[in-house]
Structure 1
C-alpha cells in the first residue's frame, strides 16, 4: 500500500495538463457548431442552443473532472477519505398555515426580549399572598388572659393554719445549716392515703440565695420537681404524679441553698401544701421561726 501511495504521489507531482491541446479541441468544436448553425438556418430548422452555452458547460465539466481527479489522487496519497459532499437545497416556500412557532414575526421583533416564564407552583402549596387549596388553616390564636399556670400559682393562698383535717405540717431550718449554706425542712403527717399532693417552699432572697439541691422521703419517681426564681423568692415545688398515692404517715420534703456569708434569718420564708384523700381536699400553710 505504501508503494502505491508513493507512485500516485510522484505521478501527481509530475502531471502537467496540456492546456494548448485542450483549447485547440474547444476551438474546433466551436467552429463546427458555427457551421452547423449556419446550415440549419439556411434549411429553416430550429436553432440549437447558443454555442457559447455548450462551450461553457463543456469547459466547466472538464475543469470539474480535473479537480475531482486531483482531489482523489491527493486523498489516496494522504490516506484520508474525502469528506461527504453536501447538496444545497432551496428553501421551502412559506406554508399557507402561517409561520412556524419558532419563526419571529414583526411584532416579536419590536417587542424586545421575552420575559422568562414563571416556575410552576407545587400542588398543594400556597402562592404568595394566596392560601393554597390544601394549606392547613392557621390555628394560632392570641393567648387568652386567664389564671397563671398551676406551676406558678401560689399553693393554698387562703389557708391560714398548719393543720387541716387529716393533714398536719411543720417548717424548720435544719440544724446542720451554716454561715454559707442552709436547708429548709418541711414535715407532713397524713391520717389517710393521699391521691393528690402538691408541696411548695418559698425562700426569701436575703442575699446570695441560690439553689443547691432538694430531696423528699417519698419515691423520687412519684413526683415532678421544679425550682425557679420568682420575684424575690426561690421557689421549690413537688407535685404527685397522676395515678400515684402517698401512704398515711409522716413524710419529709427539703430544699437546699447557698446564701450570703453569716447567719441567715428565715423569718420571711413560707411553705404551703394542698392534698386530696377520699375525695376530700385539705390545705395548709406555715412559716419558719425568725432568727433573733
Structure 2
C-alpha cells in the first residue's frame, strides 16, 4: 500500500472514529494493574520501514489534530450561549420646531410661541416652554391650536423658570401639519431678553419611535 493511500485510509478512519470513553478508561485501569512487560531485544529498523512508519505517525498525528480540533470547535459552538440579534429602535416621527416671540407682544406683556410641524401622525407628545423668571414675569395664560380636550396642560414655577407643559392624553393623536403652543406672561416694563428661554418637544409615533426637539429663543427679545 503506497503512502498516499495509507494517509487517506487513516484520515477516513479517524474521522469516522467515535471513542468509547468508558472502554478506554477500563483499558487504562487494566494496564496499570498488569505486571511490567518483559523487555525484548531491539530489532534493527529497516530504513524504508522506518520512513514508512514515521510517515504513518505523522499522518496519524495530523488526523488526530484535525479530529481533536473539530471536537473542540463543536463543543465550543454547542456550549456557547446564542447572542440575541440587536434590535434597532424604530425611527421617530419626522418633525420641526421654531421658537419665536409673538409680534403682538409689548413692553409689559409677551407671548412665547413654539411652532411645531409634524409630517406623520403622532400618538404621544409632550411640549414644554421654560421662561426664565426675569423681573416681573408672571403667567397670564396659555393656548394651543389643537383641541384643549386632547391635552393635559399645566403651568408651574420650577426654580428660576416658569414652565408651561402640554401632554397629549392616551388614545389621542396629533395629525400631520403645523401646530402652535403658546405661553403668555407679564414682565417688567421694557425690553425683556428671551434668549435664555428654552423649549422641548418629545414626539412618539404609532410604532414606538421617538423624536426629541429642543432649543432656545436665541437672541429674540420680548418687547
Q: TM-score range by the shorter chain?
A: 0.5 to 0.7
Q: Would you say 1:266 and 2:194 are equivalent positions?
A: yes
Displacement after TM superposition at 1:205 (Å) = 1.1
Q: Whole-Å Cα distance in 2 between the matches of residues 165 and 251 of structure 1?
A: 15
Q: Which has the larger radius of gyration?
A: 1
Aligned position for 1:280: 209
Q: Whole-Å Cα distance in 2 between the matches of residues 263 and 289 of structure 1?
A: 15
Whichever structure has more strand as a proportion of its residues is 2
> Does the 8 Å CA contact 2:100/2:220 hold for their aligned counterparts?
no
Q: Residues 291 and 282 (structure 1 numbering): CA distance in 2 closer, same or farther, change over 3 Å?
A: closer
> Does the 8 Å CA contact 2:196/2:218 hold for their aligned counterparts?
no
Using structure 2 for the length normalisation, give the TM-score. 0.56
Q: Would you say 1:199 and 2:131 are equivalent positions?
A: no
Q: 1:238-271: per-residue Cα shift (whole Å, max 9, x none)?
A: 0000000000111100000000011111011000
Aligned position for 1:235: 163
Aligned position for 1:189: 117
Displacement after TM superposition at 1:218 (Å) = 0.2
After TM superposition, list the pairs within 5 Å mapping 1:168-183 onto structure 2.
168-183=96-111
Displacement after TM superposition at 1:179 (Å) = 0.7
Q: Whole-Å Cα distance in 2 between the matches of residues 245 and 204 of structure 1?
A: 31
Q: Any idea what SS the aligned residue of 1:290 has?
A: coil
Aligned position for 2:172: 244
Q: Would you say 1:208 and 2:136 are equivalent positions?
A: yes
Q: Whole-Å Cα distance in 1 between the matches of residues 127 and 181 of structure 2?
A: 8
Q: Whole-Å Cα distance in 2 between the matches of residues 201 and 285 of structure 1?
A: 10
Q: 1:15-58: per-residue Cα shift (whole Å, max 9, x none)?
A: xxxxxxxxxxxxxxxxxxxxxxxxxxxxxxxxxxxxxxxxxxxx
Higher RCO (C-alpha 8 Å, min separation 6) = 2
Q: Any idea what SS the aligned residue of 1:193 has?
A: coil
User: Which residue of the other structure, out of 179, 182, 198, is the alignment partner of 1:254?
Assistant: 182
Aligned position for 1:73: none
Q: 1:119-157: per-residue Cα shift (whole Å, max 9, x none)?
A: xxxxxxxxxxxxxxxxxxxxxxxxxxxxxxxxxxxxxxx
Displacement after TM superposition at 1:289 (Å) = 2.6
Query: Please, which runs of 5 or more residues in structure 1 have no aligned partner?
Result: 1-163
> Does the 8 Å CA contact 2:133/2:161 hold for their aligned counterparts?
yes
Deviates more, 1:278-287 or 1:195-204: 278-287
Number of residue pairs matched by the alignment: 129
Q: Whole-Å Cα distance in 2 between the matches of residues 170 and 185 of structure 1?
A: 8
What CA RMSD, in Å, does the superposition of the two structures yield over aligned residues?
A: 1.3
Q: Would you say 1:226 and 2:129 are equivalent positions?
A: no
Q: Any idea what SS the aligned residue of 1:179 has?
A: coil
